[in-house]
Structure 1
Amino acid sequence: MSTRSALARQLGVVAGFDDPDASLEQYPTPPGLAAYLVHVADLRGDIDGRTVVDLGTGTGMLALGAALRSPERVVGVDLDWGPLRTARTNERRVAASADIEWAQGDATRPPLAVDDATVVMNPPFGAQRGNEHADRAFLETAADIAAVSYSLHNEGSKEFVESFAADNGGEVTDAFRAELDIDRQFDFHDRDRASIDAELFRIDWA
């Protein structure tokens, strides 16, 4: 198993969004944060030999991080064809040996037949007006298809995530603080870079 820092360096070549859509909250997951999530999942035995599904994969950062460990296969699902085309290019850049599939579709109703996956995701935080609680639909999908999930959420989400998991047969087993660095990419951004406090949760759905 490579170190977390080595994994972050490997993911440093992953390209972000060419034309990000604010309504879909298309923000890239930083390589260091993706490496942290995947490394924790791997240490917990949730990557090796497993089917890993990245819901809302975007340009593939989390999916590719998982593919650089030892999964049985990886599936990245996204609604937008543009980022998926970039994800395919990124796959060649990182030269992962695992079997990777890129599926175009709604991540909240994924075209998958699996019920024991490891789900990794950086879902929309619901920061845009009319998109509040967007992460709930992603958690609902995780509850349907996952044995375990790892997901990033806005700071202060612990009570909501724990309550949702309990109501849907799951249990939050781990919670970690995280930082999400976001570069200026939309007109409403007033700084070149912002650091957003976030939380990472591991949920056991089994």
Structure 2
Amino acid sequence: MSGLSRRTLARRLESIADFEDPSVSLEQYLTPAELAAHICHLAGLQDDLDRQVVDLGTGTGMLAIGAALAGADRVAGIDVDSDALELARRNERAAVGESGDTDRALAWLRGDVARHPFSIADATVVSNPPFGAQRGNRHADRAFLETASEIATVSYTIHNEGSQPFVESFAADEGGDVTHAFRAEFPIAKRFAFHTETQEALEVEVFRIEWG
């Protein structure tokens, strides 16, 4: 794995640019650099970056780029939004391409996570899926877990507060096991009409799942 400390990784990820015109229907929010660094650093410590890494719903590319900087050699980010993928490419050039200290291979793919193009079963998935809170679509993150269970040996996913019973039940039904779970703060700036505060902090839950 890379020699980057978690603190250094977070600092490098602070260069990741946010969405200029985010989509409310896709719940496009910038994954906090500190949280992404925590996840990617933990994945490195668990030797989970030694295989193909797939970022489902990559958005700005935060988790995919974080995985590459943390030591993953093969990383793919998939998103249904072509504008998001172009932003991810720009963010890659800013955070990785100009650094001169990594030759990690990143691929950016346009596609629907629920109808993914991957024919692998031993990947490491990293993902900040939509929560479904604003659309009333509870467990909008289910499709992301379903894909993770199909293509991954292990996954790291971020979910809305209170998701632990659902995630643990889903994993168990698919032969998986939640090995790590922790809470984190997810600050978001005011960007949509339903936001009433200039900035608020959501409480989220992060899970590492080993899939059977």
1:43 matched to which residue of 2? 45
**Structure 1 unaligned residues grouped into runs of 5+:** none
C-alpha distance in structure 1 between counterparts of 2:27 and 2:45, whole Å:
29
Please tell me the residue identity of whatever aligns with 1:179.
E
Aligned to 1:58: 59
Letter in 2 for 1:42: G
Unaligned runs of 5+ in 2: 97-101
Q: Confirm or deny that 1:142 pairs with 2:148.
A: yes
- Alignment-derived partner of residue 202 in structure 1: 208
> Is residue 81 of structure 2 the alignment partner of residue 106 of structure 1?
no
Cα deviation code 1:14-47 (max 9, x no counterpart): 1111111111111110111100111111111111
Task: Using structure 1 for the length normalisation, give the TM-score.
Answer: 0.97
Normalising by structure 2, report the TM-score.
0.94
Determine the C-alpha separation between the residues in 2 that align with 1:147 and 1:2: 24
* 1:12 corresponds to 2:18: no
Q: RMSD in angstroms over aligned alpha carbons?
A: 1.0
* CA–CA separation in structure 1 for the residues paired with 2:71 and 2:10: 16
Distance 2:182 2:114 in 1: 24
How far the C-alpha of 1:70 sits from its partner, in A, is 2.0
Match status 1:87 vs 2:93: no
State which of 25, 29, 41 in structure 1 corresponds to 2:27.
25
Confirm or deny: 8 A CA contact 1:68 1:97 kept in the other structure: no
Instruction: Give the letter aligned to residue 21 of structure 2.
Output: D
Q: Residue 24 of structure 1 aligns to a residue in which SS?
A: coil
Tell me the number of residue pairs that the alignment of Structure 1 and Structure 2 aligns: 205
Asked if residue 164 in structure 1 is aligned to residue 166 in structure 2, the reply is no
In 2, Cα distance between the equivalents of 1:128 and 1:182?
14
Q: Which residue of 2 aligns with 1:117?
A: 123
Q: Which amino acid aligns with 2:200?
A: A
- In the alignment, is the contact (CA less than 8 A) between 1:14 and 1:93 conserved in 2? yes
Equivalent in the alignment of 2:99 = none
Aligned-partner SS, 1:68: helix
CA drift of 1:109 comes to 1.8
**Structure 1 residue runs of 4+, over 6 Å off?**
none
